[in-house]
Chain A
């Protein structure tokens, strides 16, 4: 489990795998699509079938956007 302090809202988030891994894959880099994140993550982890993993990453990105942890690039 990973704790995140969200500066804009002052809220604390408790997140579990794969959210910390997705955030790490986004860290210090230009905006990335779900496809690019899948490629980055699949180099580090065994993600199983590509279409299932990609759908899962997309789902997490939607939820993380709703929480304000990430935003869609303009």
Chain B
């Protein structure tokens, strides 16, 4: 394609092509401090193509495609091109990654141990990880945690943090402007703004660590903490994984080990600050 970039994020390398220069220019800017890929071999290709013959120029409309695509995905407008590229990369990981058990979860690390947080969209897992990443934790990823099948180690996937709606103001207030991407208003998920993780998170993106605590956060409720049993944890993690079934027995073995060795808690919280205090307390108390 006319405009292209190759990006390595954790263990995955993406080749992204676009019919328009803008999405690639924005990616180059925001991923400027990520290490260059070792070679030109990519795991996945993402293509941002015009949704129709004239749609390159006339009301430009992006169709996301690549090695893996969704046939009925709605086209996106050109000002949302950066989001389209990020969605394209997520789609490749969700549908095509087989080297690790992929959990739809955020993760942060401290002193060589990992806190994994999983939940529905809007649960606060992404914002919480972003905030912890600015408060002495290493952000490993806001979207996918990669569980190594042989060792049980969680590997980072520190792509740009995708902030939505209220989370944008929260993070913009504490992160330097140069780490914030353009505001994309009125997307299908509301307002979206990307944030570049701290330099340490990017520099250590090949460095995994053992999981020590699993949380199921839920934003917008009165504070509450409850233990989650093995059965429920296993069920919820299979639902949070896009490749559990595809991996077969190694996925089963990795997930059962995770459930047996990592304590799990559900936490409800009314605000980000309370969530951080609860998380820090649980982290100190963990067995």
Are A and B interaction partners? yes
CB within 8 Å of B: which A1-19 residues: 1, 3, 5, 7, 10, 12, 14
Given A12-B238, A12-B252, the answer on whether A1 and B245 have CB atoms closer than 8 Å is no
**Which residues, 21 to 48 on A, are CB-close (under 8 Å) to B?**
none
Q: Which chain A positions have C-beta within 8 A of B190?
A: none
Is B176 interfacial (CB 8 A cutoff)? Answer: no
Cβ-defined contact, B231 with A5, below 8 A = no
Partner of B230, one of A1, A5, A7, A10: A1
Whether A14 lies near B245 (C-beta < 8 A) is no
- For B, the interface residue count at a CB cutoff of 8 angstroms equals 11
In the complex, which residues of chain A have a beta carbon less than 8 angstroms from the beta carbon of B249? 5, 7, 10
- Interface residue B136 (Cβ < 8 Å from any Cβ of A): no
Residues 101-155 of B at the A interface (beta carbon under 8 Å)? none
When C-beta atoms are compared, the residue in chain B nearest to A14 turns out to be B231
Expressed in whole angstroms, the minimum distance between the Cβ of A4 and any Cβ of chain B is 9
0 or 1 for each of B234-275: is its CB under 8 Å from A? (1 = yes)? 110010000001001100110010000000000000000000
Q: Are B245 and A10 in contact (CB under 8 A)?
A: yes
The answer to whether B252 and A5 have CB atoms under 8 Å apart is: yes
- Nearest Cβ on chain B to A10's Cβ, whole angstroms: 5
Query: Which 9 A/B pairs are nearest by Cβ-Cβ distance?
Result: A5-B252, A1-B231, A10-B248, A5-B249, A3-B256, A12-B252, A14-B231, A3-B234, A7-B249
What are some 12 contacts across the A-B interface (CB < 8 A)?
A1-B230, A3-B234, A5-B249, A5-B252, A5-B253, A10-B248, A10-B249, A12-B238, A12-B252, A14-B231, A14-B234, A14-B235
